[in-house]
Amino acid sequence: YLYEPLKSTKEIRLLTLFPGAFLDPIRTSLSTFDIEAGTPHYEALTYTWGDPSLRHVISLHGHEFEITASLYEALKHLRLIDKKRIIWVDAICINMNNLAEHSNQVMMMRDIYPRALRVLVWLGIASEN
């Protein structure tokens, strides 16, 4: 997947998580918004990264996009069956291969999280312990 560059230091990307059953492939898209001009209602997701070598593929604008197994499980569990969900999640909404963007977006987290409708926390699948 090739990211479109952000046009200003106040822009963020929001992930649309399309509806689906639990076992359906995960389909998503990204949209760009100026955080000061207004965004749709969104949720921010924070999660445990888990083992970075364990990867899964999702569909992002119809292209394959690799994410950690932990984020994959979070999206599977958070996906709704009947309507889309708008989420900000660092690993997808930030182009991690662009150092300048990554640095700016990390500084913007102080604006991104408070403006979210809610913050979702994913600690992983429950264990027997």
pLDDT (tens, 9 = 90+) of the chain, 129 residues, equals 899 999 999 999 999 999 999 999 999 999 999 999 999 999 999 999 888 889 999 999 999 999 999 999 999 999 999 999 999 999 999 999 999 999 999 999 999 999 999 999 999 887 776
In three-state secondary structure terms, 77 is helix
Query: Does residue 15 form part of some domain?
Result: yes
Number of domains in the chain: 1
Query: Does residue 79 form part of some domain?
Result: yes
CB 38 within 8 A of CB 51: no
In three-state secondary structure terms, 76 is helix
Report how far residue 107's alpha carbon sits from residue 57's, in angstroms, rounded to the nearest whole number: 28
How many beta carbons lie within 10 A of that of residue 11, not counting itself? 19
Query: Does residue 5 form part of some domain?
Result: no
Query: Does residue 97 form part of some domain?
Result: yes
Domain, as residue range, for 106: 11-122
Q: Specify the pLDDT at position 73.
A: 96
Q: Specify the pLDDT at position 97.
A: 95
| Nearest C-alpha neighbor of 93 from the set 46, 41, 48 | 46
Query: Does residue 2 form part of some domain?
Result: no
Question: Alpha carbon of 110 to those of 10, 57, 62: distances in Å?
Answer: 12, 29, 31
Query: Does residue 16 form part of some domain?
Result: yes
User: Burial code of 67-99, b = ≥16 C-beta within 10 A, e = fewer?
Assistant: bbbbbbbbbbebbeeeebbbbbbbbbbbbeeee
Query: Does residue 129 form part of some domain?
Result: no
